[in-house]
Structure formats: C-alpha cells, structure tokens
Amino acid sequence: MSPPTTTSQPEPGADGAIVVFDGACALCSGWVGFLLRHDRARRFRFAAMQGDTGRRLLAAHGLDPDDPMSFLLLDAAGATTDSDAIIAVLARLGGAWRIARALSVVPRGLRDPLYRWLARNRYRWFGRKDACYLPTEADRDRFL
C-alpha cells in the first residue's frame, strides 16, 4: 500500500527538484556544496535527512529515516534513488555534466551495490559533522 500524500509535504515544482541528503555526513554536505556552486539555474532545493521535512520525504517514499542509506531525488517525474538519482542530478546541471547520463549504460544492478558500499562507509571514510549543513544567507531559500 502506498503511503498517503499530505498537503504539508513539499513537492517539487515543474522546473525544480528536491534533493534529500544526510546533513551530518561530510561527503554529502560536500555534494550539496558542489550542487549549490554548479546549479546556476537554481533547479534544486534541499532537505536534510535529519530534519522533519527530510524524514517525512524519506518515509513517504519507502525509505527508513533512521537508517538513511539512499540518496533521494524528487522531481515532477517522481522519486529516484541511489545511482539513478546521482546520474539524474549531474545530468540536470547541464553543460559537460550531461555526459553523466552515459553511466546509465552500466546496469543498475552493478551501480547500486557500489553506491550502497560507499553509503555504508561514508562516515568512516569522509567523517561526520556535529551539526547539519548550514546554508549561506544567499542559499537559505533553497533549503526546506
């Protein structure tokens, strides 16, 4: 049975997307910083998994908010996770980043285990922050 959709749950706009990320993970926070620098069209909004909005979005899409091992991208087409979400985000940046779509030729059955291996080890390899990622004043409107 599908989880109910609530009106208080943020939804991406026609031209936008929501990236749910681990705000305590150094690698994930670096990823958000990378997206903020390269997303000149401001297509992406962000929700930390540790916040109420991020937890609700994860749960609404069948992901455990207390064991977040998946990267979640929400857009007008729906929810995308793991390596498909990474590829979709990079391709949406435009320019040379569109070449990331070529990674789709690698079967998801090979890509996703590699993604999950990285996700399982992200704190050990890249570190964990004491506080969630804090946006600058200029980017604060992009965080849910």
Task: Let me know if residue 21 belongs to a domain.
Answer: yes
Q: How far apart are CA 93 and CA 95, in angstroms?
A: 7
Q: What pTM value is reported for the model? A: 0.81
Burial class (CB in 10 A: 0-12, 13-18, 19+), 54: buried
88-116 per-position pLDDT tens digit: 999 999 899 999 999 999 999 999 999 99
28-83 per-position pLDDT tens digit: 989 999 999 999 889 999 999 989 999 999 999 988 888 777 789 999 889 998 99
Task: Let me know if residue 8 belongs to a domain.
Answer: no
Task: Let me know if residue 58 belongs to a domain.
Answer: yes
Counting the structural domains of the chain, the total is: 1
In this prediction, residue 13 has a pLDDT band, given cuts at 50, 70 and 90, of very low
Averaged pLDDT, 12-27:
80
Task: Kindly provide the residue ranges of all beta strands, DSSP E only, lying in 7-86, ordered along the sequence.
Answer: 17-21, 44-48, 72-75, 78-81
Range of the domain at 34: 17-132
Say yes or no to pLDDT of 5 above 50.
Answer: no
